Amino acid sequence: MDIKQKIKYILKQQNMSVYSLAAKADLSTACINNWYSKRDYEPSLNALRKICDALNISLAELFYDGDAVIPADDRAREFFNYWSVLNDEQKDNLIKFIKSIVSE
């Protein structure tokens, strides 16, 4: 399932309209509708963050398409939202930092 289909699916699960989502996410309804009507028009990362906040999900939950458990804790969601925008070097450094804290 692609991101646009996943958003539609979550909207249906939460019984939310595109209009309500646009209002909660501070995006225009036309912007969201364009995602579905234009084949090559993809939402920006900033728009996806707003959508996730409006749907009360993390970016990890939006992008994940499987059976793993996604943390529901707000701090864990915040961590995964930050994690998703890091490059590989930053992720490696963060893992090293966490290991240093845990081993103390």
CA 64, chain centre distance (Å): 9
Query: How far is residue 104 from each of residues 97, 98, 99, 101, measured CA to CA in Å?
Result: 11, 10, 9, 5
Residue pair 31/47 in contact (Cβ under 8 Å)? The answer is yes
Domain with residue 79: its CATH number is: 1.10.260.40
pTM for this prediction:
0.61
H-helix or E-strand spanning residue 60:
helix 59-63
Domain range for 15: 3-102
Query: How far is residue 23 from each of residues 26, 45, 61, 91, measured CA to CA in Å?
Result: 5, 18, 21, 33
Q: How many domains does the chain have?
A: 1
* pLDDT 10s digits, 7-63: 888 899 889 999 999 999 999 998 888 887 766 677 888 888 999 999 988 887 888
